[in-house]
Every structure is written in structure tokens, then in C-alpha cells.
Structure 1
């Protein structure tokens, strides 16, 4: 049944002295001591882990099966991804750096249209400690018009071979199968699709055949209409269901579950309140059984919470959201401000290492 959900909560610094009362979240650096048991049309229950078996026993048989699968997903480590000479690990949070080769992206449009400038920016990101560089040649900001695939490729083709030659791990941010195919041929290792492989009918089979990792992002509508009064019955559960359905479709098409990363799609068909509800409930999405990516850097909701600060003045808010995400076990944060975010994650990691050292 799909109307049962488990959200890890009551996070603790370390499991020492809490035998049977704490569990490790997805093989990472976060430990939790309770779950919120959620039924879509019923009450929510906060259950300490030492009473979890009792709570499970009260469920009807189909829901016990669902419970067992969710619990396994929450507590199973995510295997690393071997991508050529690079390995993307999920036992500690990492940073994906945003590199837009577009004239109209909401925060940095036009800055990296020249391939020399873009390549230098990517190398700087790598030097600062980024794990992966996400290159996009079509803006998907609210209100953006679609870009012809030929224009996307013209922006990517001078750049991607240079990044591959520099030994960088690159993802391509695109919705189009033809762009995915050429980008992978030019050295990209990951596909990052804001439409979760629904925009282009050929994309699903292409990614399955390529055997590459893919980021599936939740969205509602398209960039031109997605912010026109978005509505949900329960945004946290609706987004979970949407991602779960897309993961199932990808697995059925031949994409290995171990090569899928999920993104709840902050700002893509969501109001301010929707975004905040998703961020407060991020740990729920570990129940999908795949690594999580959070892309909230410089987004509009940060400005809305900070006196309408413009996009280039949202660094503090972006770091606050990134740290809130990794504190709920998010494995990758996608950001514009790489050195500052890497520093924040290193400090967070130092705190966790100290807490987990007996």
C-alpha cells in the first residue's frame, strides 16, 4: 500500500549508549531515534525506535510489508557510483557545483557563455572541493521558454571535452534525449533531468541503454507555468509518491536502482509554504531507497524570507538550507557558491566526526 510513510526524526549526535534506540540513516553520518509513522488519511504517530516492533505489529499485513520496505530503505547504505576514474560516494555529504552556460538563468545567466571562462570556473570549483560539476545549457527558471536542442548542444560542445580532459566528474542538466546522448559522448557521466525523464519520450530508453546515473527531479508543470498557483493535497507525501512512481518506471525500463538519485524539486511547481514543508520533512525521502540531492541554492523562497534579497545576495540563506539538508541525511547539495558551501560542510563534518569518535 502506498498510504504509509516513515519519516526519521529525533536525530542524535551519536549512537553510543543507545543500543536498540537509534539507527544510522542510509549509511551516512546521521543517527535517528524515532520515526513519524504517517498514514495519508489517518493520524501521525511519533514512535521511538525501541517501540517500533510493537507499532509494526498493529498494522494489517499489506502495510507491514510496506513498513518493512521503507525501514530497509531508510537504514541501508547507498552504494558508491564508480564513474571512470572518479567515484561518487554517499557515506558523507558532497557538493555539486552549478555551471550554467545560458544567457538567462535566474542567478548567473550570461556569466559563463564563453567556453574558456566556463572551463576555468569548473576547474576552480574542483579546486575548492566540489564532487561533481553540473553543466546546463537551458534555463528552467520560472517563466523560461524552451531552448532548441541545437542551441543547447552549441553551448555544450566546446566545453564538455575540456572538462573531461581535466578529469572532472560532470553531470549534464537537460531534458532532451539528443542533448543527453551527445553530452555523454563528450564526457559527461551523469544525466540530471528536471523532468525526471518525462519531457522527452526517448530519454528513458536512452539513459537505460547508456547505463549512466540519473538524477530524477520532482516537478509540476513546465517552467513557463509551474508557479501558477501550484496545489497539493499534502506536498510532502505527494512529492514522495511522484518520485516513487518515477523511480519504479525507471527501474522497469532497465535503469538500475543503484544508479538513481532523487531530488524533491525545491521551487519547481511549489509555493513558499510547499518549499518549507519539503525542507522540514526531507528525511522522509530516504524511504525511496536512493541517494538524495537538494537543489535550493539562491532560490526565490530564500529572498522571500530575507527582505526580498536579490539572487546574488542569498549566500547566507543558501548555506543555511544546505546545512539543514545534510543534517537530515541529504547526500548531495547542488549550489552556486562552492567554496563557501564546501567550507560549511567541512565544519559540519568535523562536528559529526567528533561526535562519532568515542
Structure 2
């Protein structure tokens, strides 16, 4: 037994690495974790201390439900193959988790029954930020009062705030801490929601409750009622699905672009000329031009017009240093997206430049 004096018995090794002796025998049979020495007379298995890292990694991979064949590829295959195996398994687990969460949410909604209230827990600061971002897109048309509201949708673990005045569109998606009850949607007067947003910022968490008696918000030490408005909100999902894929993308400093737009002064229209590595902001007659560095994949230059009263609030509502412009055509809505926050999207309608020259 001199050859085993520096080795660990299967029981001792099992205790060190957190695997049962039966599991070690199984992994030996599968040739994934072979013992360093097997006594020919007794059949006892012995392991070296330097095998512990492999055993612990094997245990972790199996706890993550990685199939044994893939475990062998991670342990013994080339680095690129191991990375590919783990990425595929990560995506598979994520898809399975999302499917399970959706199924459980659907069953819980069914169990709640018709008329059951919906309760949503959100971070107070996150809710306040979302309200601030979508509010500039609210309409002021007395003939279409529904455009003066914000649509709130609750679905699974997401809450969406949507606003539009038909010339611009804003949507912010929030991840809820918890959602209880059925999916729902309701319209809230924008002015009331703006006040609620400022109030919510003072609470670490806000619970929105939607029931037969109306909608209320509960903060740390105070509650308030949200005035719900009856009406038919524009079918924004149809609009989003009808958007053509962008033909051009440009990334530019958000605050610099906003300043250049404001520097054009009182004008009903401004022009953006997109070059290979720059954006030129000017009045339609090319006066008052400001050149901004930009990142573009396309070399073909073109001009597109905007109402500064519509574009500027879209830029102000963004977050982060950069803004991404996605343009499909000079006559189609332009996506103005915060490069640092994919959950906030604004669409801005361009204008014709000829009428403003």
C-alpha cells in the first residue's frame, strides 16, 4: 500500500469534493473522472489531491444540468469547443426558464379567476424614470383626448408605459419585482401619472393595484389613486410590426446633438445630413450648420428633416452619453434609441425639407 500513502480513499475524496462515493464510481465507469489508482486485490479506488479541481468542476457542471457528454467536452476538449458547449447550454436553460415562468404565470392567472385584482411591485425610482421618459410623447389634441394619456400594460413580469401624439412615440419597459393576478392594460391621465412619478421617486418600492374599483399606487408610507380614462389607444403594436428594417444607423453624442438642434433657433424644421463619419445639423437652407462626429456603417450620405420641437424632447428623454438613430427611409418613423438602455424606445416622424427652405 506504499503507493497510496499520498492518495485519498474514495470516501475521503468524496467528502472533499462534495460528491457521493456512488457518483465517483459512476464517473469512473463513464471515464469522466478516473481514480489515480485502483487496488488490484481489493478494487478500492484512490485519488490524488490534484484531482480535486476537476472533481469540483464536474460537480458544478452537473448541478447546472449539463449532459455528461457535454461535461466531457468541457473538461477535456479544446477551449473553443468548451465555450461553445457552455453557451449553447446557457441559451437552452434560459429558454426553458422563460417558458416555465410564462406557463406558471398563465396558470396563476387562471387560478385567480375573473375579476381578481392585479398587483405589481416596481422600484420607485425606476417607475419615476419611465414616466419622465414617455411623458414628452403625450399628445395635446382636444379632439383626441386618449392621446393625452399613457397606456400601462402589465404582462407576466413586465410593465410597459406607452405614449404617442401620432408624430412621436415612446415606450419604456420595466422589469417588475413581482406580478400577481391576470394581465391587464389601462389608460392613465398623463398629468396625474407625472405627479405619481414624482411621488414614486421618494419610495424604494411601489405597488400598483388594479381591480374592479380602479387603480391605486402604494408607496412606503402613502397611497394614491390613479385616474383611469376610458378610450381606445392607438394600435401601437401594429405600427411597430410594420416598421421596415433600418437602412442606416448612426451613433452620435446625445447631448451634443441636442445642443446642435437647439442652436438652430426658432425654426419649424432642421436638417440632419448623415455622412460617413459625421452628422451635420443645420436649418433646411444649410445655414447655422454644426458638424458632429458620428459612427456609421454606411458611406452613402443623405439628408432627413425633423421638427425640432419633436426631436429635441426625444433626445432629452434619453439616458446615457450616446443616442442611436435607426432610419429606414426619409418618410418613415425614425427610431431614436438610447444606446445604454434598450428598454426605452422613441419613434419620431421626419418632415419634408422642401417646404421649409
TM bin, normalised by shorter chain, reads: under 0.3
TM-score, length basis structure 2:
0.25
The structure where strand makes up a greater share of residues is: 2
TM-score of the superposed pair, with normalisation by structure 1: 0.24
| Bigger Rg, which one | 2
